[in-house]
């Protein structure tokens, strides 16, 4: 008997039948004697639809009003789920982020959870009531609603699990767990029985949307017992933990793809000290995160610097650099939004020097050109043309996992 936080994503609560299915999972857990806090996302494509509605009215709406609007999606699914559970005869209450005590900073659209005041939830649990909490939202110090960034309901769930010292945090989604690649793109991808926090954090940050990367960061920090599983199949899922069995055996645990990036190149910079500092401090001042950086060797006293940013920062980055062309000193900027990053992740690769070469070989054999490369102890990322991205994931997956044993769990 324990306290279990269960999170259900958009497709798991998309319509009345699926909400009833979620209500069944929650009440079965409750009937086994556990205390249950369920965190729900908005139904189906609701958040996208709300964004489209806002764009129709005002494409430059303030982030505060966007959060006011987007937070409504989660309220609908939670109230409906509570109604389904009421109809089954159980004691249940749905709470908004602020009723549940989720306090955040004021970065509208991408707020960070500062703390969760758990009194209300605990008093409901004490009464043996099932608690349903809206994901993705909280309240800032000014008393305004904030949202946590796309996919943020996972982070709401982990924050509640950490604050309530839950015994388990289950992330229910529309696939059976974490796979070696997106199973929708690579049908041969294999389900991982376990994955480390560090590898999962890399995969999530590098584009595997199955978990919000901040949820993994938080789960690692507070050592939350985390599991990803399907709300549809009832199959065992993937456990995300500090150390996994057989970690030494496989060199890579997964492949991720990120299409949400753009490449900027400053061409014809002076080949002298201080240039990189000028460029990247200007971007940092605008709070623009830079990812892969490549500097060419100087020729005839000139050099180039290329780097990637998220697509949403592309315009702002170009603008600030153009405004400072004379201060930095370059010939021109080349901007390319048609790129994608494909990455392999694995704690085992640090002691296996051939891993990066195998990836490059797979891409070369398929005629895929690599524009940039970046490596760390547990990942190798390459920048390729957007049009090549899906194929790059498939051929890389094939190289490491082959066609044999397709669909098996590892």
Tell which one of 42, 195, 340, 384 touches ligand ASP (CB under 6 A). Answer: 42
Note whether 67 binds ligand ADP by CB under 6 A.
no
Note whether 165 binds ligand ADP by CB under 6 A.
no
Which partner in ligand ASP, Mg ion, ligand ADP, none is near 208 (CB below 5 to 8 A by kind)?
Answer: ligand ADP
Angle between helices 213-221 and 197-205 (to 10 degrees): 160
Angstrom distance (rounded) from CA 155 to CA 219 = 9
Angstrom distance (rounded) from CA 42 to CA 11 = 9
Tell which one of 84, 208, 344, 349 touches ligand ADP (CB under 6 A). Answer: 208
Q: What is the DSSP letter of 277?
A: H
Note whether 101 binds Mg ion by CB under 5 A.
no
In the complex, minimum distance from the CB of residue 58 to ligand ADP, in angstroms, rounded to a whole number = 27
Tell which one of 53, 114, 115, 184 touches ligand ADP (CB under 6 A). Answer: 184
In the complex, minimum distance from the CB of residue 360 to ligand ASP, in angstroms, rounded to a whole number = 34
Note whether 151 binds Mg ion by CB under 5 A.
yes
173, 160, 172, 153: which is closest to 35 by C-alpha?
Answer: 160
Torsion, Cα 388 376 225 75, to 10 degrees, reads -50
**Stretch 107-146 residues interacting with ligand ASP (CB under 6 A):** 135-136
In the complex, minimum distance from the CB of residue 337 to ligand ASP, in angstroms, rounded to a whole number = 22
Per-residue x/- marks for ligand ADP, 144-163, CB under 6 A?
-------x------------
**Which is closer to ligand ASP, CB of 97 or CB of 183?**
97
Note whether 177 binds Mg ion by CB under 5 A.
no
Angstrom distance (rounded) from CA 86 to CA 81 = 9
Angstrom distance (rounded) from CA 44 to CA 77 = 10
In the complex, minimum distance from the CB of residue 209 to Mg ion, in angstroms, rounded to a whole number = 6
In the complex, minimum distance from the CB of residue 343 to ligand ADP, in angstroms, rounded to a whole number = 11
Tell which one of 4, 6, 8, 10 touches ligand ASP (CB under 6 A). Answer: 10
For β-strands 332-336 and 261-270, DSSP reports them as: antiparallel
- Residues, the chain, total? 410
- Contact, 366 vs 359, CB < 8 A? no
Q: What is the DSSP letter of 1?
A: -
**C-alpha pair distances (Å), 78 with each of 81, 95, 222, 330:** 5, 8, 26, 54
Tell me how crowded residue 112 is: count the other CB atoms within 10 A of its CB: 17
- Contact, 171 vs 226, CB < 8 A? yes
Note whether 254 binds ligand ADP by CB under 6 A.
yes
Binding site for ligand ADP (CB under 6 A): 9-12, 41, 151, 173-175, 178-179, 181-184, 208-210, 254
Binding site for ligand ASP (CB under 6 A): 9-10, 41-42, 47, 73, 135-136, 150-153
């Amino acid at each position: 008997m324990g306290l279990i936080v269960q999170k259900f994503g958009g497709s798991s609560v998309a319509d009345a039948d699926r909400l009833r299915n979620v209500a069944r999972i929650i009440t079965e857990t409750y009937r086994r004697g556990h205390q249950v806090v369920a965190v729900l996302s908005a139904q189906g494509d609701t958040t996208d639809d709300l964004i489209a509605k806002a764009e129709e009215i005002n494409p430059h709406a303030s982030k505060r009003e966007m959060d006011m609007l987007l937070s409504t999606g989660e309220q609908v699914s939670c109230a409906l789920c509570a109604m389904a559970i009421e109809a089954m005869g159980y004691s249940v209450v749905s709470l908004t982020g602020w009723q549940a005590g989720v306090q955040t900073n004021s970065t509208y659209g991408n707020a960070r959870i500062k703390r969760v005041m758990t009194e209300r939830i605990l008093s409901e649990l004490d009464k043996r009531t099932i608690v349903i909490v809206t994901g993705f939202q909280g309240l800032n110090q000014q008393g305004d609603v904030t949202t946590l960034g796309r996919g943020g309901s996972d982070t709401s769930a982990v924050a509640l699990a950490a604050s309530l010292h839950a015994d388990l945090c289950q992330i229910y989604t529309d696939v059976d767990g974490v796979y070696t690649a997106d199973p929708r793109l690579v049908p041969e991808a294999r389900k991982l029985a376990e994955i480390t926090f560090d590898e999962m954090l890399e995969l999530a940050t590098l584009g595997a949307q199955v978990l919000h990367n901040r949820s993994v960061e938080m789960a690692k920090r507070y050592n939350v017992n985390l599991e990803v599983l399907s709300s549809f199949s009832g199959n065992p899922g993937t456990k995300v933990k500090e150390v996994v069995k057989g970690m030494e055996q496989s060199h890579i645990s997964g492949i991720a793809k990120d299409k949400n990036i753009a490449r900027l190149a400053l061409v014809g910079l002076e080949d002298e000290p201080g240039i990189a500092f000028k460029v990247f401090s200007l971007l940092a001042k605008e709070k623009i995160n830079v990812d892969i950086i490549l500097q060419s060797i100087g020729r005839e006293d000139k050099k180039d610097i290329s780097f990637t940013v998220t697509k949403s920062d592309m315009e702002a980055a170009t603008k600030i650099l153009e405004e400072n062309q004379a201060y930095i000193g370059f010939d021109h900027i080349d901007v390319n939004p048609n790129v994608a990053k494909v990455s392999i992740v694995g704690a085992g690769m640090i002691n296996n020097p051939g891993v990066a070469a195998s990836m490059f070989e797979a891409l070369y054999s398929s005629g895929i050109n690599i524009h940039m490369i970046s490596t760390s102890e547990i990942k190798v990322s390459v920048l390729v043309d957007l049009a090549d991205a899906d194929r790059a994931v498939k051929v890389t997956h094939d190289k490491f996992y082959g066609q044999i044993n397709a669909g098996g769990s590892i």
